[in-house]
Amino acid sequence: MPDKLTPALDVIASLQAEGKKILISFGGGDMQLPDYIGVANREAELAEAIALFVDEHGFDGVDIDFEVSQALYLKRPPGVFDGREFLIDLTTALRAKLPQGSLITHVPQAPYLDPAWQGGPYLDVLREVGDMIDWITVQYFNNPKFDASVALDIVGRETDPRSWSYTGIATGAGDLVWPPGKLLVGLPVYRDDAANGHLPPRVVARDIVCPLRNQFDASFGGLTGWQFSTLTRDHRFWNNKMAGALSGNSCEE
C-alpha cells in the first residue's frame, strides 16, 4: 500500500522539477504561547526534528513564522519565554542541522521591525543571525497602524521613511540596513485572508511593485501572497497580475 505522504511528495518533486523551491512553514498565527511551551528553550532538539522532516520529505528549507508578540516584549509577563533568544537560537541550530544548501526564511510582522515597538525585536534577530537567513517577508497586514498607508507604511518615503516600511528597512531607518534583495512584501491574496491589508492586484502593481522596482531596480526582492490555499476563483488572476508586474518593462516611468 502506498505511503500516505506519496501524493504530497510527488507534488513537491514535480514543483521542484519546474525550478521552484518548496519550504515547510513552522509557526503561524494559530501557534501561540501555550503551543511553544514544549519547545521553548529546547531549540536544538526542535531544529533536529525539523531538519529530519525536511530531509526525509525533500523540502528545500524552513520558513519561520513567529507571532507570539508577548514573548518579544522588553518586559515580558511572568513565565513567558524570551522570543528573541528563541528565534536566534532556533535559526542558529537550523543552519547547523539542515541539509547543505537549505533555505531559512522568516516572516516578521511589520511592527517587529519598528524600534519604537518593544525595541524592534526583529532588528535584534537580524543583527545576530541575519547572515544565516536567506530572506525575510514582512507581513504588511493585520496591523493597521503599521500597514494601512501603502505609500508610507509599505513602500516608504525615499527621504526619512518609516522604519518598518520597505524603504526604511532597506536603507537602515531602524538602525539596521537589510538588503532589498533579501526583503519581500507580504500581502493577503484574498480579502478574507486577513483582517486588513488586502489590495486588488492592479493596486499592488501600481502602488507597491512599480514604486519599489523604480527605486531599487533589480534588487527589489518581490512579493509573497498569503494564501493561495484559499483557492477562490480569482486566484489565478492575482497571481498572473503580480507576475506581469514583476517582469518585463511594466513599471517603466
Sign of CA dihedral 137, 103, 216, 131: positive
CB of 48 within 8 A of CB of 98?
Answer: no
CB of 182 within 8 A of CB of 222?
Answer: no
The pTM is what?
0.92
**pLDDT the model gives residue 1:** 38
Segments in the chain below pLDDT 70: 1-8, 231-236, 245-250, 252-253
**pLDDT the model gives residue 228:** 75
**pLDDT the model gives residue 221:** 95
CA torsion 193-197-203-205 (nearest 10°) is -80
- Tens of pLDDT, residue by residue over 101-151, are 999 999 999 999 999 999 999 999 999 999 999 999 999 999 999 999 999
- Residue with grid cell 523540502, as numbered in its chain: 59
- Residue with grid cell 537567513, as numbered in its chain: 133
Q: Which helix (H) or strand (E) is 174 found in, with range? A: none
Name residues whose C-beta falls within 8 Å of residue 87's C-beta, 6 or more positions apart in sequence.
64, 66, 106, 122, 125, 129
**pLDDT the model gives residue 234:** 59
Domains (range + CATH), the chain: 6-245 (3.20.20.80)
User: Which residues, listed in sequence order, are joined to residue 188 by a DSSP beta bridge?
Assistant: 226
SS3 of residue 143 by DSSP: coil
